[in-house]
A = this chain, B = another copy of it.
Amino acid sequence: MKDLVMELDSRGIRPLYEQIYNYIKEEIRSGKLLYQEKLPSTRSLAEYLQVSRSTVDLAYEQLLSEGYIESRPYKGFFVCQVEELYDLKDAMERGEERTEDGQARFQYDFSPNIVELSSFPFGTWKKITKETLTDDRKEMFALGHPQGDIQLRRTICHYLHTSRGVNCLPEQIIVGAGNDYLLLLLEKILGRHRSVALENPTYKRAYQIFDSFAYQVRTIPMDRNGISVDALERSGADLAYVMPSHQFPTGIVMPIGRRLELLRWAAGQEGRYLIEDDYDSEFRYRGKPIPSLQASDRMGKVIYIGTFSKAIAPAIRISYMVLPGELLECYRQNYRFFSSTVSRIDQSILDVFIREGAFERHLNKMRKIYKSRHDCLLSACKRYLKNITISGENAGLHLLLHYRGKRAEEELIRLASERGVRVYGVSETYIGRLPENWQPTLILGYAGLDEKDIESGVRILSDCI
């Protein structure tokens, strides 16, 4: 039992019970009283504080009713698990792309950043984990290679080659705890005084990350084939961050002609590089998968970045980056001292998961699920929604609705939100001013909703549009 050393002000404005309640609440919220910790009995606390027992009773009752503590028969009062109120509020205000603690305040959330977790092969993952944690493999607990364990890098290399046409050696791969970390490392490798160009609109977090670098950031308009190479050339940038397989948010799949233009731009001057974020390339619904941009690169101009967070689970913080020769050399000479950010245990589990075929089985299963949701969303939109055209529907986990009616984008979002449907606006993914003749456009992700919910969500949306 814990001592509760509080000072009560008996002449204060606040009643004693409230002071006691406030004190204990703060101790719980700040973590000084821990989950499941036992509180003193009301009798002993009353004695200790020299107040009446009913005062303490009142304070405890308040804490009980607010869920800070619970009462267990014959045992006493214990601290409950409380949500972090502060953060909850914050997350609500921010209301952006993070599943966060996934507060489902919306009945139908068409977030493009949620993935379906119910189908995750927990059993297989658990089995592999168990096999990995055997006593005779204590080297698993030592710090591994800064680029990631060679066995996992071999496996990734093979996977990237067969699935994405990526040409590389395991030596070129750096495994890291998420894309954000890999970009931070890349900032060091590329050096200062860089100027990076981003597609506009783009993935907002990538913009925020580059903006936090000692780089100049340029935004480049897109046409229906993707980033405008002329505008890129004029921008003076020496780096370009692109998503050729399925641009976010537009969903544009960059055709081969534009890819070659882009590679020519990169080859046109020393020190230029393309950063290819292949974030959701696993999912494609029509035609054959298109290889990565890196697959067409003969000059060592593409830095290829991908992640397992989307295809497996967001909690799996494992991404990878493939460095072209010159940058690899620079990394090896200057930045290998940065320790690996991924536990060897997790690396080993993932390695086995892929090599034993579980990853492919999982992908196939998810492709089916997502394809069915994709088709359902597409047909529901066509059936129920007026005044819209659809784009970006060939790949990935979201599509776009271009609206030709009279309402503003934010009005549509607000109306839907009031009815429990969360949709997202493309204008939020624009950096700087919106283009002229801007047409309201909504992003609808479908990975986190089943067919029934998709249909219901779209029907509600139709009332707002």
Contact = CB atoms under 8 A, between A and B. Distances in A.
A309 B142 CA distance: 9
Determine which residue in A143, A150, A184 has the highest number of CB atoms from chain B within 10 A of its CB, and name it. A143
Contacts of A335: 212
Nearest to A161: B32
Contacts of A146: 98
Interface stretch (A238-246, A248-256, A339-347): A339-347
A168 B125 CA distance: 36
A341 B133 contact: no
Interface stretch (A47-55, A314-322, A439-447): A314-322
Contacts of A317: 177, 339-343
A224 B367 CA distance: 64
Contacts of A31: 153-155, 157-158, 169-170
B208 A337 contact: yes
Contacts of A178: 339-341
Interface residues of A, number: 86
Interface string A185-209: 1001000100000000000110011
Interface in A349-397: 355
**Residue in A144, A169, A204, A339 whose Cβ sees the most chain B Cβ within 10 Å:** A339
13 contacts: A30-B170, A31-B170, A35-B355, A84-B171, A87-B145, A101-B139, A101-B145, A120-B138, A120-B141, A122-B134, A188-B212, A316-B343, A317-B342
B314 A142 contact: yes
A291 to B, nearest CB: 17
Contacts of A32: 157-158, 161
Contacts of A337: 180, 204-205, 208-209
> How many monomers of this chain does the complex have?
2
A86 interface: yes
Interface string A108-129: 0000000001101011011001
B130 A126 contact: yes
A169 B177 CA distance: 26
Contacts of A134: 122
Top 9 A-B residue pairs of the complex, sorted by shortest distance between their CB atoms:
A143-B314, A141-B313, A31-B154, A177-B341, A99-B143, A177-B177, A315-B344, A84-B150, A31-B157
A100 B169 contact: no
A337 B205 CA distance: 7
Nearest to A313: B141
A23 interface: no
Contact of A314 (B125, B141, B157): B141
